[in-house]
Amino acid sequence: MIGDANLFNILLSVLIAVTVASRGFRVDEDYIASWSRWFNLEVTQENRPTVRRYLQWTRRCRTAGGLAGFLAPTFYFELVNPGHVPDDVGGWAMTLTFVGYLLGALLAEVVIDPYRRHSPVPIRLVDHLPTYAVVLQRGLAFASVFLVGIYALLEPSARISGLPDVRQVAGLGLAAACLALVVEGFQRKIIVRARPASEDVGVETAMKSSSLYVLAGGGIALLGGIAGPMFILSVVTVTAEAGPPAWVALVAFGLVMLSSLYFWLYFGKPGGFGVRQGERQRVAS
């Protein structure tokens, strides 16, 4: 039976989800105009259906995925497993939001390009994404794997009990490496996606750049959500639960998570698609 507290948590989560969905599923003329303005793209009667279809699939898929991930922990712990709600359910909700968002974005790319047409062009992510975005994607994955080794060395001498097993932490490192490979693999496929003869070069360029940024934002957010906790775990193994080192770890963890949120939100909106004209030309070549 659902208690008052459980019902309140469910209703609050649903209210938040409905509020986000009311905007996240909307692809109106204002959104199309805002998106096209960042690419100096003129939306005409001929290319409007292509632009609208692309934006509807990409925005709605990633919004639906993010909301599913956000709601999953609440419904699981409040309905399926009542009375066993962990203290870190908020952390689960945030992490699964990133997971669902990224899965939705990847699903949209598969729908948009079902025939996997490709053109033989050089593949350089830094020609189409800011260098810092590529460095973050790869760097966070590398840091997660590196921190597995650090944790394995420090865990035997840990001063507190109840820490995760090394194999569990190694699983997180492996997940981060696989995630980075999948995201970059899709980005490279997007770069070499061939344009149908009927598609305008400006529309194709804008769609490619938009997709690259969205995947980068979701990937960086999720990788930051893995690397941050792994870093704090490595510090906790050799420190007490309180004190200056622990506070430094908490501050560093907070900065990583806030940065992840920033890139997720920045790359996921039209304002985050500020690609230089030279980069747009190279994407179209």
* Residue range 125-155, pLDDT digits in tens: 887 788 888 999 999 999 999 999 988 888 8
Q: pTM for this one? A: 0.81
Cα separation, 216 vs 222, in Å, equals: 10
Q: Which amino acid is at 166?
A: V
Residue among 87, 72, 68 nearest 20 (CA): 68
- 46 contacts 69 by C-beta, under 8 angstroms: no
Number of H helices, E strands in the chain: 9, 0
Q: Could you report the per-residue pLDDT of 21-60, keeping only the tens digit for each?
A: 888 888 888 889 888 888 788 888 888 998 999 999 999 9
Q: What is the mean pLDDT of residues 253-279?
A: 69
Cα separation, 208 vs 151, in Å, equals: 39
Q: Could you report the per-residue pLDDT of 193-221, keeping only the tens digit for each?
A: 766 655 677 888 888 888 999 999 999 99
**Domain residue extents for the chain:** 4-284
- Of the two residues 281 and 8, the one the predictor is more confident about is 8
**pLDDT score recorded for residue 206:** 85
Cα separation, 42 vs 55, in Å, equals: 15
Q: Which two tokens stand for residue 163?
A: 């820490």
Cα separation, 266 vs 270, in Å, equals: 8
**pLDDT score recorded for residue 104:** 93
